[in-house]
Amino acid sequence: MLYIVLWSLALVSCICGENPAIQLALTDKGLQTVRHFAAGVIQDKLDQMELTDVRGHVMGIHYTLSGMHITKLDFPEPEVHFSPPVSGLDLSVSGLSMALTGDWSTHLGAIHDGGTFDMAIFDLSLRSFLGLDRDSSGHPSVSSVYCEVDIQTVNMQFYGGARYTHVLSVEVNPVMSLDLSLSAPPAVDPGSINFGLRGEFYSPESHRDPPFVAPPFSLPVQSTYMLSVGVSEYTANSASFAYYISGHLQALINDSMIPSYCPIRLNTSSMGRFIPQLSQMYPDLLMVLQVYARQTPLFTFQPGFVKLDLLSAIKAFVVQANSTLTPVFKLHLVRRTSRSGLVWFSMQRFNILK
Ligand SMILES: *[C@@H]1O[C@H](CO)[C@@H](O)[C@H](O)[C@H]1NC(C)=O
Ligand SMILES: *[C@@H]1O[C@H](CO)[C@@H](O)[C@H](O)[C@H]1NC(C)=O
Ligand SMILES: *[C@@H]1O[C@H](CO)[C@@H](O)[C@H](O)[C@H]1NC(C)=O
């Protein structure tokens, strides 16, 4: 149940021991909100869940409890706190009651017997310490460091336990996925938990790492906020790089995409007013523009503004009567955004292609 809490934490927020490009800090205020939300989800999930079979033997008689369902469940809101000693969470529930139904069967040698059963458990208390970590591939893992269950007077204790891991890589669209694996084990202090995520966009086809590294950054935690999320320019630039190497940073523009009220048309007669050679060499033909990035566009995050350096080019083609595209000229452009927010393009080069 607590895994659901943790996974929802991991999902709302989000390898290799390198600097995280995305950081999420969940405060106690945020944890309490998730807890409240998770209690409802858990109640619904448990209501529909089929429990795993229980097998054992008593005095040579083998028994199986199977097909167990929860028919009634009263799941009080759990208490959850950050626990720095186990680098995870301290979770407790008290006053949980449930009714179960299922099938039982026993066999002793060739003698088989079976039937159904109803069972009710009242006033169950549970306390569990969950350690949060990452495995070698950066996936978050949750392990039960200590778990104590108390059912009225019956007291059971378990140490150790299963380890659960959850893969966190999100397909953003068919050409790009986001790697949300942990760059380090989550850092827990009494007031918050900080998840450092790899935060790298990549093209599943090429899976090439960008030729730059994530710079270190620190995320200030504000206890009045439930969740703080910091995204570094590495994340934005890895998306740029993934789009660029997969050939998606380009577009074709034709005359039908230019609004009808625009007096300048994408044809050689209209463009011939600016470049006379065009209309002389290719009289009255339609044109197509290919706009593309010449390098990975790079973002720079600075306090209060984001700068984008984009080196782009436009290649113009004449559409011949037989639909062949003949390249005619090329423009190299530089786009820069200044501190004042002004965006400008400057033309670097213009070539007539022959
Ligand atoms: C212009 O491009 C659009 C979108 O690619 C396409 O649907 C349309 O048919 C093209 N028009 C001409 C005249 O080629
Ligand atoms: C080219 O554009 C001009 C307007 O500037 C228009 O009169 C002419 O019909 C267009 N030619 C073609 C081939 O689309
Ligand atoms: C298309 O027309 C152009 C100009 O008339 C010509 O140079 C080219 O060879 C033609 N291409 C094809 C595939 O017919």
Which candidate, 311, 22, 282, places its Cα nearest to that of 12?
Answer: 22
What's the average model confidence in pLDDT over 243-263? 91
Which atom of ligand 2 is nearest to 285's Cα? Answer: 13
Q: What is the pLDDT of residue 337?
A: 60
Find the 278 Cα to ligand 2 centroid distance in Å: 14
Ranking 23-32, 120-129, 230-239 by mean pLDDT, the lowest is 120-129
Three-state DSSP state, 236: helix
Which candidate, 220, 244, 234, places its Cα nearest to that of 183?
Answer: 234
Winning range, highest mean pLDDT, from 92-101, 134-143, 293-302, 335-344: 293-302
What's the average model confidence in pLDDT over 47-69? 76
Instruction: Tell me the pLDDT band of 18, cut-offs 50, 70 and 90.
Output: confident
Ligand 2 atom 5: the closest Cα is on which residue? 270
**Phi, psi at residue 44, to the nearest 5°?**
-65, -45
Find the 243 Cα to ligand 2 centroid distance in Å: 35
Instruction: Tell me the pLDDT band of 325, cut-offs 50, 70 and 90.
Output: very high
The per-residue pLDDT of the chain, averaged, comes to: 79
Q: What is the pLDDT of residue 5?
A: 36
Between CA 321 and CA 326 the distance in angstroms is: 11
Find the 354 Cα to ligand 2 centroid distance in Å: 23
Find the 320 Cα to ligand 3 centroid distance in Å: 7
**160-172 per-position pLDDT tens digit:** 434 444 557 788 8
Look at residue 122 and tell me whether its pLDDT is greater than 80.
no
Instruction: Tell me the pLDDT band of 349, cut-offs 50, 70 and 90.
Output: low
Ranking 147-161, 206-220, 303-317 by mean pLDDT, the lowest is 147-161
Q: What is the pLDDT of residue 255?
A: 94
Q: What is the pLDDT of residue 3?
A: 39
Find the 319 Cα to ligand 1 centroid distance in Å: 12
Ligand 2 atom 9: the closest Cα is on which residue? 284
Which atom of ligand 2 is nearest to 267's Cα? Answer: 1
Q: What is the pLDDT of residue 217?
A: 83
Q: What is the pLDDT of residue 354?
A: 56
Distance from chain centroid for Cα 180: 5
Residue boundaries of the structural domains of the chain: 3-53+71-101+116-160, 163-216+229-248, 249-354
Share of the chain above pLDDT 90, in %: 19
Three-state DSSP state, 145: strand
CATH superfamily name and code, 3-53+71-101+116-160: Bactericidal permeability-increasing protein; domain 1 (3.15.10.10)
What's the average model confidence in pLDDT over 71-79? 82
Between CA 20 and CA 12 the distance in angstroms is: 17
Query: Can you list the alpha helix ranges (DSSP code H) found in 204-345?
Result: 233-245, 268-271, 276-281
Which atom of ligand 2 is nearest to 264's Cα? Answer: 5
Starting at the edge strand that comes first in sequence, how are the strands of the sheet with 192-197 ordered? 187-189, 192-197, 22-27, 227-231
Between CA 144 and CA 107 the distance in angstroms is: 34
Share of the chain above pLDDT 70, in %: 83
Does the beta carbon of 322 lie inside 6 Å of ligand 3? yes
Which atom of ligand 1 is nearest to 255's Cα? Answer: 13
CATH superfamily name and code, 249-354: Bactericidal permeability-increasing protein; domain 2 (3.15.20.10)
